[in-house]
Amino acid sequence: MPRTPDYFNGKTIVITGAASGIGRATALIFAREGANVVCADVNEDGVKDTAEKVNEIGSQSLALSIDVTSRAAVNNMIELTLNGFGRVDFLFNSAGAAIRRSKFLEIDDELIEKTFDLNFKGTFYAMQAVLPHMLKNKAGVIVNVASMAVKRGGPNTSVHYAAAKGAVNSMTLGVAREFAKDGIRCLSISPGPINTAFAKAAASSPELIKRFLEDIPMGRFGEPEEIGELVLFMCSDACKFMTADTVYVNGGGGWR
């Protein structure tokens, strides 16, 4: 939570992957705090539903059907945000997925390219699009979603995903250090298994779910809201000295 009452009131956050899961939960949390919320996602119906929920809470929203793998679309996302709200204070890059599970020797060119396009390039494009505006304001916070898979390497199921999220972590560190003197902070969050569409997809493999749960001392998956509240803290004035870090949110597991 912020140190200053009404800190988020009237400020603007752009959230990719806002149609569901962590992105949607974070949108509603920022709406609760009075922020303007730009909801972006390739899922047009889902992103409209999130924006409507933001409006119901009492905050202003903008629903954008955006494919983050397109640089032009991401540039347009930031331009539309500036046209609608005049500024961007926070960017939360939540869009991402493993696309599909695969053993390492079965990862083909199409899978590796799609995985990096969505998880790495989508984040890269959004950061490049918003940073010039943040530099003008000498302020801004960018939060990216990495993964505990970076620590595990994703053997047998998702080396491609772990590699892409590892690239996100490295980019977060570099951008944070390059722009720290300009009043811009950049952080990432590395979640363990969260109750999202991603976890539901993994549920098609009971053995995978069992393995995940056995590795979590808390004995449960995390909830999207638990990540959203962390994003709120990272963006707040209670967190001004924190940058270039990733925060592991995993119920105590995910290290083996």
Q: Establish whether 161 is a catalytic residue.
A: yes
Q: Which of 21, 25, 27, 86 minimizes the C-alpha distance to 54?
A: 27
Amino acid 30: pLDDT: 98
If pLDDT is split at 50, 70 and 90, which confidence band does 59 have? very high
| Average pLDDT, integer, range 49-75 | 98
Name the residue ranges covered by the structural domains of the chain. 12-248
The SS3 assignment for 144 reads: strand
Please say if the pLDDT value at position 140 is more than 60: yes
> Strand order in 184-191's β-sheet?
61-65, 36-41, 12-16, 90-93, 140-145, 184-191, 246-249
Residue among 7, 125, 161, 248 flagged as catalytic: 161
Mean pLDDT of 5-13: 97
Query: Residue 206 has what pLDDT?
Result: 78
Q: Which of 32-46, 121-135, 187-201, 217-231 has the lowest mean pLDDT?
A: 187-201
The most confident of 84-93, 198-207, 247-256, by mean pLDDT? 84-93
Q: How much is the average pLDDT of 196-214?
A: 72
Q: What is the mean pLDDT of residues 14-34?
A: 98
CA dihedral 254, 250, 140, 173 (to 10 degrees): -20
Highest mean pLDDT of the ranges 52-61, 150-159, 198-207 = 52-61
- Run of H or E including 116: helix 109-116
What is the gyration radius of the CA atoms in the chain, in angstroms? 17
The pLDDT of residue 199: 60
**Per the structure block, which two tokens stand in for 194?**
């969260």
For 39, residues 6+ apart whose C-beta sits below 8 A from its C-beta are: 15, 18, 19, 23, 24, 27, 47, 50, 51, 54, 61, 62, 63, 64
**12-248 maps to which CATH number?**
3.40.50.720
* pTM recorded for the entire structure: 0.96
Tokens of 57: 């809470």
Share of the chain above pLDDT 90, in %: 90
Decide if pLDDT at 201 tops 70: no
**CA 59 to centroid of chain Cα atoms:** 21
Q: What is the mean pLDDT of the segment spanning 54-68?
A: 98
Phi/psi of residue 225, each to 5°? Answer: -65, -30
Residue 198 has pLDDT above 90, yes or no: no
Distant-in-sequence, close-in-space partners of 126: CB < 8 Å, separation ≥ 6: 14, 16, 68, 74, 77, 78, 91, 93
pLDDT at position 246 is 95
User: Closest Cα to residue 249, out of 158, 115, 120, 146?
Assistant: 146
- pLDDT reading at 64 higher than 60: yes
Nearest to 140 by CA among 185, 188, 84: 185
Residue 193 backbone class (left: φ over 0; alpha: ψ -120 to 50; beta: rest): beta
